[in-house]
Structure 1
Amino acid sequence: MQERFAELLEWVHAVRDAGYDHFTMGQHYLTAPFQQFQPVPLLARLIPETGSMQMYSTLIVPLQNPVELAESWASLDVLSGGRVGMCLALGYRDEEYAAFGVDPKTRLRRQRDTIETLRRLWTEDDVTAEG
């Protein structure tokens, strides 16, 4: 993973220096032998490397805790000066759902619930949510 991170830094510098205005990364779990860095720590580390580039990550929303997600991304937003965004995905790998103990048949409802809870956490003072 150290080697992979060095390659990733080199790539970020190259696209930044070439004038690109954003990049997008993905999220997966249990992808051996092709492990991926998780978005929050990686984007936090990349903030000083990216200049003015926007940074996006696709997240498997039904596997996320909405409070953790809202707090982590609000922190990234502040640390980056508003340069982070999220792409919201349902996910498709059964092994990821199994590892989190989530029934894939509930993924659409979980996605909708999480998005609604995120909106409320970011815009309301008091939030109570079910799901």
Structure 2
Amino acid sequence: MEHGVLIFLTDYGIDGPTLARATEERGFDGLFLTEHTHIPVSRESPWNGGAELPRRYWHTEDPFVALAAMAVVTERIALGTAVSLVLQHHPIGLAKTIASLDRLAGGRFELGVGPGWNREEMANHGVDPRTRTRRMLEHIAAMREIWTRDEADFHGEFIDFDPIWSWPKPVRTPPVLIGGEGPTVLDRVVSHGDGWMPRRVRRDEVDAFAGRVAELRRRATDAGRGHLPVSVFGAVPERDVLDAYAAAGVDRVLFELPDADEAEVLRTLDALAALRP
């Protein structure tokens, strides 16, 4: 089982290149960034972490810009999003951004995606929250067309374009990791994903979670999809829980780092590195 990290990279915390070098030097397998383009001041959407939304949500750096800087100072680790709110981007522009980033990273980019939870944020992008999941899947499909075809066209419910030329192409078609834990998430993983990225599986949830991993593997086999890896976002950094994740079939754990200064983040990285087998 691989070990990676994720962070809300902010303008008041550690800088991206320093973090990327430190992550690779300590032997981790990947580094993933969150995304919010903005947070509306007047919020109605509930946050599942409590009443007060932490300031890191509206101080996050653009993950694609930050990951490009990280790509040029690393050689080995996977670099990705956990997760990108792809429905808040136009797929033609985002496909080019991701392809350019993947080339800088030498084919190491992974696109973790989710539909998001903040309805006001979506609305500011002109997205109807009631259609967010369908729109997300359509954006993924449209980007894959652009990445894999010399003359790509797409005609869907939300995205429509006649044949286009768009280069560069990525080194490889970036794997799409579908985020979420809801009752229908495995449908999306099997239909549109290259992996599953569930969040914060607690100690007392691992047994039930193992059943869902087994279900994913059965469904992927039946659909001819092969092995679809599972990466746990915000994994519990305790040895017995990590052993339980591995027994459940998890392929990679992603530990969440604090949105803090360089010294605190590096101390946390050192502590987490001690958990690696």
Q: Is TM more than 0.5 here? A: yes
Match of 2:269 in 1: none
Q: CA RMSD in A?
A: 1.9
- Distance in 2 between the 1:2 and 1:39 partners? 12
- Is 1:75 equivalent to 2:84 in the alignment? no
SS of residue paired to 2:72: helix
1:67–1:61 CA distance, 2 compared to 1 (3 A): same
- Supply the AA of the counterpart residue of 1:15: T
Mapped pair 1:23 → 2:47: no
Query: Partner letter of residue 106 of structure 2?
Result: G
- The correspondence for 1:39, drawn from 60, 63, 69, is 63
Partner-residue secondary structure (3-state), 1:4 = coil
Post-superposition shift, 1:83?
1.2
Say whether 1:95 aligns with 2:104. no
Work out the percentage of aligned pairs sharing the same amino acid: 28
Q: Residue 85 of structure 1 aligns to a residue in which SS?
A: strand
Q: Which letter does structure 1 place at the counterpart of 2:129?
A: P
**Equivalent position of 1:66 in the other structure:** 91
Alignment partner for residue 55 of structure 1, among 79, 101, 105?
A: 79
**Shift, 1:38, TM fit:** 0.7
| Normalised TM-score (structure 2) | 0.43
Ranges in structure 1 where 5+ consecutive residues have no aligned partner = none
Q: CA deviation at 1:5?
A: 4.4
Counterpart amino acid of 2:23? V
The answer to whether the Cα contact below 8 Å between 2:11 and 2:61 also exists between their aligned partners in 1 is no
CA distance in 1, matches of 2:18, 2:148: 37
Deviation, structure 1 residue 12 = 2.7
Distance 2:86 2:152 in 1: 19
Separation of aligned partners in 2, 1:97 and 1:64: 10
Q: Determine the C-alpha separation between the residues in 2 that align with 1:111 and 1:25.
A: 18
Moved over 3 A (4+): 8-11
Report the 3-state secondary structure (helix = DSSP H, G, I; strand = E; otherwise coil) of the residue aligned with 2:69: helix
- 2:35 maps to amino acid: Q
Query: Which of 94, 110, 132 is the matching residue for 1:107?
Result: 132
Over 3 Å counting, the alpha-carbon distance change for 1:11 and 1:100 in structure 2 is: same
More helix, by proportion: 1
Larger radius of gyration: 2
Cross-structure match for 2:3: none
CA distance in 2, matches of 1:11, 1:75: 21
The 2-side partners of 1:30 and 1:70 are apart by 21
SS at match of 2:152: coil
Is the alpha carbon distance of 1:9 and 1:44 closer, same or farther for their aligned partners in structure 2, counting shifts above 3 Å?
A: closer
